[in-house]
């Protein structure tokens, strides 16, 4: 995905590279924390404290789980091309991919209820999945992750979000 004569230059026009950076930012700690804080505030104001607690535990636990996996595998980041964004920590699994899956799948599950029409549920799930895919693919395009890092992040994040969705259903959180 790089210009063969200049490995610091990703393929595609400048606007595309900027758009990819924008999408990768949506999987970063700041935007994810802001989205979760907004939802937690809303759930608290709506007296849905049980649901807010589930979201908080899913997010904080997901961060810990991601760090545990990164520490265990301790895989270095790719050094094949100059990286186009600042990166920190190990490569496997992709934290952006994993935390985006945890956050956006959890929030999509919150936005629909069981009595929502199927097309509403599919639309929100589809939007969440598209955003998660774009974030993960952006990490590979920018040269900061191997494709397997992203795949592992998606799988771990989706598994974590699904587990917390099942817990929420079990304890009756809406």
Q: 17-45: per-residue pLDDT in tens?
A: 899 889 999 999 999 999 999 999 999 99
Report the C-alpha gap between 166 and 169 in whole angstroms: 5
Report the alpha-carbon distance of residue 102 to residue 33 in Å, rounded. 12
For the chain, the domains span 2-171
Secondary structure of residue 32 in the 3-state scheme = helix
More confident residue, 74 or 43: 43
Alpha carbon separation from 80 to 58, 74, 75, 116 (Å, rounded): 34, 18, 14, 47
Q: Is 43 exposed, middle or buried (0-12, 13-18, 19+ CB in 10 A)?
A: buried
120 part of the active site: no
Give dist(CA 46, CA 6) in Å, integer.
53
Judge whether 96 counts as a catalytic residue. yes
Catalytic residue among 96, 97, 104, 109: 96
Quick check: helix, strand or coil at residue 140? Answer: helix
Beta pairing class for 2-3 and 6-10 = antiparallel
Tokens of residue 116, six digits: 């929502």
Q: What pTM did the predictor assign?
A: 0.86
* Mean pLDDT computed over 48-68: 93
Of 70, 84, 139, 145, the catalytic one is 145
């Amino acid at each position: 995905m790089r210009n063969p004569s200049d490995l610091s230059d990703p393929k595609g026009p400048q606007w595309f590279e900027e758009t990819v950076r924008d999408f990768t930012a949506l999987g970063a700690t700041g935007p994810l924390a802001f989205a979760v804080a907004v939802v937690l505030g809303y759930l608290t104001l709506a007296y849905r404290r049980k649901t807010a607690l589930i979201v908080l535990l899913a997010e904080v636990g997901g961060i810990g789980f991601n760090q545990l996996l990164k520490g265990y595998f301790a895989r270095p980041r790719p050094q094949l091309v100059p990286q186009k964004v600042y990166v920190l920590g190990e490569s496997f699994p992709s934290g952006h991919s994993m935390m985006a899956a945890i956050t956006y799948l959890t929030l999509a599950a919150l936005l629909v209820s069981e009595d929502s029409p199927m097309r509403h549920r599919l639309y929100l799930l589809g939007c969440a999945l598209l955003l998660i895919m774009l974030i993960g693919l952006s990490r590979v395009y920018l040269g900061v992750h191997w494709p397997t890092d992203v795949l592992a992040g998606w799988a771990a994040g989706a598994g974590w979000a699904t587990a917390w969705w099942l817990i929420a259903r079990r304890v009756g959180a809406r």
